[in-house]
Structures are given as C-alpha cells and as structure tokens.
Structure 1
Amino acid sequence: MKLTDLNRDGGIGANSLFVQIGDLNILIDSGLNPKKVGRLASPDLAPLRGVTLDLIIITHCHLDHIGSLPVVMREHPDTPVLMTTSSRIIIERMLHNSASVMLRQREDENIPDYPLFTHEEIDRCAKRFVGLPFGHAKKFHTAKDEIEIILHRAGHVAGAAGVELRHKHRAIFFTGDVLFDDQRTLKGAEFPAGHFDTLVTETTRGTTERPADKSRSAELDRLVKSINDTIQRGGSFVIPVFALGRMQEILTIIYDARKFGRLIECPIYASGLGMDLADYFDEISRKTKHVQFNRGIIKELKIKPTPRKLNAGEDPQQNALYIISSGMLVERTPSYTLASGMVGHARNTIGFVGYCDPDTPGGQLQLAKPGDTFLFETVHVKAKVKARIERFELSGHADREQLVEFAVQTGARSVVLTHGDPPARAWFAEQLATLMPNARVLDPVPLQTYQV
C-alpha cells in the first residue's frame, strides 16, 4: 500500500489521506483547516491530478474531514463517496452551512477564493453519496481489482466510523476520530479485535494524560456544580461547543441534570447550526438507533435563541447559561464575541468541554492566568482575565492509553500516525516503539508518498 498525507500542514486540519492499494486509488476524507482561509485551508490535491480516483471514503462529518469534499468531487466527477448511513443524513446540511459561511466571509473579510463551492454544487454532489450501515461488508471493484470495506462504529460523533479495508490477504484499519467511552447521546467505539497488517491511528490526545480521578461521570458532576455556582454568584456561564455532536451532547446532559433537580433554574440560550442539527440527530435516533437524542428536550428546557446581535466586549449580564459555537472560540463566532465581554468579570465562567487547538483563541485563553491581559484581536477588545476559565475532560477523542492498547493488540507490522500535533505524535511514536518493537511506526511528512 502507498499512502500520502494531503494535509499540507500536517497536524490537525485539512485531513485527507490518499491511499493506493493494488490498482485501486482511494481518498479517505477531504477536510478544511479551521485556522486557515481560502484555498490554503484545503488539502493539497496536486497528487490526485491525472489520477483516476476510484473511491472516496468519509469517516465522519466534522468540517476538518469533509470541508473540501465538493472540490475533490468537482475534479473527479465520476468518483462515488462512501460513508455511514448516519453521516449520509447529516453531510448535506454540514456542507450547505459551510458554503453559507464562506459566502459571508467573502463579503466580511474580502476573501476572493470563497466560496470554494456553491449550494448548487452540493446538491449535484449529493447524488454520489452512498450510506453504508455499520458492520456491513461492501465489496468495491474496478475492472482490475477488488476491495472489501467494513465501517465500524467509532463513537466520537454521530456517524463516525473506523474503516476496515481488506485487499486479497491484507487487512488495513483506519481509526478515524475515535472515542471508546460512551457519551450521553452515543455509544463508544466498537472496533474489531485482532490482527491488522497496517493501522492508521489518530493521535489527538497524545500530550494529555487523564488523571485517575477525572472519570467522565466525575467531570459531568463538576460541570453541573460549576454552572450552579456561577449562576448563584450572579454570573453567566458559557460553554463553547462544536455544532455537530458536542452541542447535542451538552443539551442532553443539561436536560438530565435539570430533570433530576441537580441544575439550578436559569435562562438557557442556544442557537445556530447546532440547534438545526438537533433535528437530524432526532432523525438518526429514530432510523438507526445508534444515537440517543430526542429533540423534545429543547422545548422542555425552554431554550431561548442567542441574541442575534452580540456586542464585542459587552457582558450581557443575563445570569444565564449559553451553549454556543465555536468550540475553540474561533474568531468571528458567537462564542468568541460573547467571551470577549464575559472574560473581564469575576462572576462569569467560560467552560471548555472539548479539544482546543493551542493556536486558537480558546487554546490560548486556557493558558492565560488570572489577571493576564487577553486580546480578542478581530473585535479589538483587550480585557483582564477575571472570569473563571475551566476545562472539563469531556473530549470526543480517545485517551492516548486506550489508543496505544488498541494498536498493540492489532499486532500490526506498520502503524501510521495521523490527526495530532507534533508533540502528540512524538508521544505515540515513543510508546509504540517500546511496546511494538517489531513494528514500523511512521509519522508521515505531508505530501510525501510512503510504501507501507
């Protein structure tokens, strides 16, 4: 097998792997880098030029995995796109939202490259999207060769899949983004045990050691207590969330806490793509049984839409809970604007519940100390950090020890490291070299082709 990482910057971003197995050319994911804009945010597709791309496989619908998919499909107009049944329900809504955001960015930020694709193009692409249930083997063949594909439940987010490929006598496994622990809305990963010749694994949490006392349930308790304490102090609590998955998970957690009398009464604000996706999660829950989510909880919680106009640097003083995107406080998002007004007041709390890239405002704010001056550059707000900045270990990614354990039991001859910052990959490389001395551990340089 030949493998080329098309994510031009490495790390976590425009995730896309070009895999050549026998006579088959397969692309796994085609994302966008959330920290970049224009064409530089997409993978480098040059290695695909002049190549007959036989199949595209999508592991899940976060934009760092699908955000440039229509661009690839435009350049390869006959290539089918395979994903799970649940992802097939979500993917068009995610892409349409991305197109709308790019149109807005073109006007607001003068980015001439945008949009990278149009709403009409997404509608045309959709005819080539194929949904496959978890655990069902599908044979895909060309005139010259054949491969068997099985998609396995990966936790992480609705529809997320680990990808098993079988070619002749060889077995290859791609973890995609994975979470082995159960979430409130989603069961954890169910990956096949036993041997694989090659394992391609995510490494997101390679620098994060979970303390023994920080179980998921203990972190949920801590989150609810922190919300109660903040509201009782007269402050507001903002939870920055990813619209897909984390918004619906947090809504369900809040509903459970309120139902059992553990959450204080207060206004709850939420809006945007995450609320729209609640309808899709409800549909997935009814059709596939792989998600546990009921849209009725939104009405029962009496959730109010976040005000359309949030003023940068202004504390709304609503003594309320806000559940809004983006999860990393990316510039020009509601959570970024709201945080710029809340961070300067000791009564407030900003509570992070997922992964934050260290280079994003969310990652930088978590490193700030009380009393530090923090600059919200794009809205021209400078504030002293007086609010509580808390992090709750509720990541949608597996603990590093769990991933190493899975890798070791595969007995793979080769392990390829993906989806992680350089220090995270370095930790995995060191551990796997010790625990799998006979395996080749590869941290691919972007755009270099490796024989694996």
Structure 2
Amino acid sequence: MKLIDLNRQGGIGANSLLLMIGDLNILVDCGLNPKTPGVGALPDLSLLRDIELDLIIITHCHLDHIGGLPVVMRQHPKTPVLLTQSSRMLIEKMLHNSANVMQKQKEEDGVPGYPLFTHKEIEGLTKRFVGLPFKKVKKIKGKRGEIELMFHPSGHVAGATAVEIHHGMRKIFLTGDVLFEHLRTLKGAHFPIGHFDTLIIETTRGMTERAYGKERVHEIARLIDSINDTIAKGGSFLLPVFALGRMQELLAVFHDARRFGRLIECPIYAGGLGIGLSELFDEVSRKTKDVQFDMRILKDLGLRKLPKKIMPGQEPAQKGLYIVSSGMLVEKTPSYALASGLLGHARNTIGFVGYCDPDTPGGKLLATKPGATFAFDALDVRTKVKARVDRFELSGHAERGELLEFAVQTKARSIVLTHGDPDARDWFKTQLAEQLPKAKVIDPVPLRLHEV
C-alpha cells in the first residue's frame, strides 16, 4: 500500500489522502483549508492529474473534508463517491452553502478563482453520490484485484464514519474524525476490536489532556451556569459553533436544561445554515436513526432569528443567548460580527465549545489576556477585552488516551498519523514508540509518496 497526503500544509485543513491499494486508487476526503482564500485552499490535486481514481470516500460533511469535492469530481468525471446514508442526506446542503459563501467572497473581496464550483455543478454531481449503510460490506473491483470495505460509526458528527478495508489478507482501518463519548444527539464511535495491519488515525487532541473535573457532564453544567450568570447580570452570551453538529447538539442540551428548570429564561437567537441543517437532522433522525433530533426542540425553546443588522463594534440591543457560526470566529461570519460588539463590555461572555485553530480569530482571542486590545481587522474594529472569554471542553474529537488505547490494541504494523498539528502528532509518535515499539509510525510529509 502507498499513500500521499494531498493537504499542502499538513496539519488540519484541506484534508485529503490518496490511498493506492493494489491496483486501486482511492481518494479519502477532499476538503478546503478555512484559513486560506482562493484556489490555495484546495488540496494539491495536480498530483492526481495522471491517476485514474477508482473511488472517492467521504468520511463526513465538515467543509475541511468536503469543501473541494466538486473540483476533484469535475477532474475525474467517472469516479463514484461513497459516503454514509446520513452524509448523503447532508452533503448537498453543505456544498450549496459553500458555493454561496464563495460567491459572496468574490463579490466583496475579489478572491481570485472563487467560486470554485457553482450550484448548477453541485446539482449535476449528486447522481454520483452513493450512500452506504454502516456495517454493510461493499466490494470495489479494480482491473486485476478487488477490495472489501465497510463503514463503522465514528461519532464526531452525524454521518461520520471510519473505514475498514480488506485487500487480500491485509486489513486496513482509517478512523476519520472520532468521538467515543455519547452525545445528546449522536452515539459515540463503535469500532471493531482486534488486529489491523495498517491504522490511519486522527490526532487532533494530541496536545490536550482533559483535566480531572473537566468531563463532558461537568463542562455542560459549567456552561449552563455561566449562561445563567451572564444573563442574570444583564449581559449577552455568545456561543460560536459549527453549524453542522455542534449547533444541533447544544440546542438539544439546552432544551433538556430548560425542561428541568436549569436554564434561565431568556431569548435564544440562532440563524443561518445551522437552522437549515437542523431540519435535515430531523429528517436523518426519522429515516436512518443515526441521530436523535426533533425540530420541535426549536419551537419549545422559542428560538428567534438573528437581528437583521449586526453592526460591527456595537453591542446588539437584544440581550440573550446567541448560538451562531462560525465556531472559530472566522472573519465575516455572524459570530465574528457579534463578538466585535460584545467583547468590550464586562457583562457579556463569549464561550468556545470546540477546536479553535490558533491562527483563526477565535484561537487568537483565546490567547489574548483580559484588558488587552483585540483587533477585528476585517471589520476595522479594535476593542479591549472586557467580556469574559471562556473555553468549555466539549470537543467533537476523542481524547488522546482513548485513541492511543485503540491504536495499541490493534497491534498494527504500520500507523499513519493524520488530522493534527505537529505537536499533537509528536505526542502520538512518542507514546506509540513506547507502547508499540515494533510498529512503523509514519507522519506523512505533505505531497510525498509513502510506502505503508
């Protein structure tokens, strides 16, 4: 087996792996780097120019895994795309929204090459999407050989999957993005136990060890207490969230908290893609049972639309709980604009509940000390950090110890590290060297061919 990481910069971003197994060429994911505008956000697809792709596999529908999919499908017009049934129901909404965002960026900022694809193109590609149920064997034939593959639930987000591949006597397992804990809307990962020859494993939280007392149940309680305290003091609470998965999970959590009298009565504002995806979650829940979500949650919470105009640097007149994307406060998103007006007032709170890349505005804000000046450059706003800025350990990724335990029990001969910053991968390298000293641990150099 051979492998190339097509993500130009490595780390977490334009996730895309080319697997060459026997005479079959398989592309796993094709995402966009959220920090890079234009064509440079794509994986390096030039390396696929002279390769006939037999299959594209999508592990889940976050844009860092699917944002470049229509581009590679355009370049390989006969290649089918295999994904879970739930992802099949979600992917079109995500891609259409991405096309809208890119068109807006082209009009407002003149980003060259945008949009990378159009709505019409997305509609023409959908017939090539093939939904596969979990735990069902699928045979893929090459010119000379074949593989068998199976999807396993990986938690993380609706439709997310790990991929088990058998080629002759060789067994390969790719985790995708993983969460082992059960959520309110989604069950945790359920992986096969036992030996694999090759393991390809995510490493997102390699530098994060959950402290005692920071378990998910305690962090949810701390989040609700923080919201209650903020609202009671006359402030607003901003929760920057990912529209897919995290918004629906928090809405379900707050619905339960309100039912049992734990969450203060206050206006709750949400909008944009997350609301449309909530409707799809309801449909996925009914048709596949992969998630647990009911649209009546939104009505019961009295969910309100975001104010039509969010003025940069100005605190919104409507006080309340704001649940909006993006989760990393990416420029020119509702959460970015709201944060620019809330940050300068001590009565408010901004609470992060997921991974924040250090180079995004969210990551930079988390690293800024109270009282220091923070710049919202895209809005030409500078303000002192007076609001409370907090992080709640509610990541959609597995704890490093859980992933390490799974890796060790596979007794894999080769382990490939993916989806993690350099320090996170280094932690896994060190631990795996100690616990599986005979294993070949590979941290793939981007764009270089590796024998696995």
TM-score, normalised relative to structure 1: 0.99
- The aligned runs of 1:293-332 (5 Å cut-off) are 293-332=293-332
Distance (whole Å) between structure 2 residues aligned to residue 51 and residue 338 of structure 1: 46
Task: Tell me what 1:161 maps to.
Answer: 161
Identity of aligned residues (%): 66
1:439 aligned partner, one-letter code: A
- The aligned runs of 1:4-403 (5 Å cut-off) are 4-403=4-403
Task: Tell me what 1:451 maps to.
Answer: 451
1:175 aligned partner, one-letter code: T
Match of 2:323, SS state, is: strand
1:73 deviates by 0.4
The answer to whether the 8 A contact 1:267-1:303 is kept is yes
1:288 aligned partner, one-letter code: T
Aligned length: 452
Distance (whole Å) between structure 1 residues aligned to residue 212 and residue 161 of structure 2: 28
Task: Tell me what 1:440 maps to.
Answer: 440
Give structure 1 stretches of 5+ with no counterpart.
none
Q: Deviations over 1:106-141 (max 9, x none)?
A: 001101200101111111110000000011111111
1:317 deviates by 3.9
1:306 deviates by 0.5
Distance (whole Å) between structure 1 residues aligned to residue 226 and residue 257 of structure 2: 13
Q: Deviations over 1:284-315 (max 9, x none)?
A: 10011110100111011111110121111001
1:357 deviates by 0.4
The answer to whether the 8 A contact 2:97-2:273 is kept is yes
1:293 aligned partner, one-letter code: F
2:25 aligned partner, one-letter code: N
Distance (whole Å) between structure 1 residues aligned to residue 317 and residue 92 of structure 2: 37
The answer to whether the 8 A contact 1:235-1:317 is kept is no
1:331 aligned partner, one-letter code: E
Match of 1:389, SS state, is: strand
Distance (whole Å) between structure 2 residues aligned to residue 318 and residue 108 of structure 1: 28
1:449 aligned partner, one-letter code: L
1:143 deviates by 2.9
Distance (whole Å) between structure 2 residues aligned to residue 91 and residue 319 of structure 1: 34
Distance (whole Å) between structure 2 residues aligned to residue 294 and residue 63 of structure 1: 24
Match of 1:350, SS state, is: strand
Distance (whole Å) between structure 2 residues aligned to residue 13 and residue 371 of structure 1: 32
Q: Deviations over 1:162-216 (max 9, x none)?
A: 0111100000011100000011100000011000000000110111110121111
Query: Which aligned runs of 4 or more in structure 1 are off by greater than 3 angstroms?
Result: none
The answer to whether the 8 A contact 1:236-1:317 is kept is no
Distance (whole Å) between structure 1 residues aligned to residue 130 and residue 425 of structure 2: 32
Match of 1:101, SS state, is: helix
Distance (whole Å) between structure 2 residues aligned to residue 236 and residue 162 of structure 1: 39
2:236 aligned partner, one-letter code: S
Q: Deviations over 1:402-435 (max 9, x none)?
A: 1100000000001100001111111111111111
Distance (whole Å) between structure 1 residues aligned to residue 377 and residue 112 of structure 2: 22
Match of 1:314, SS state, is: coil
The answer to whether the 8 A contact 1:141-1:147 is kept is yes
Task: Tell me what 1:420 maps to.
Answer: 420
Q: 1:307 to 1:319 in 2, by over 3 A?
A: closer
Match of 2:92, SS state, is: helix
1:40 aligned partner, one-letter code: G
TM-score, normalised relative to structure 2: 0.99
Match of 1:341, SS state, is: helix
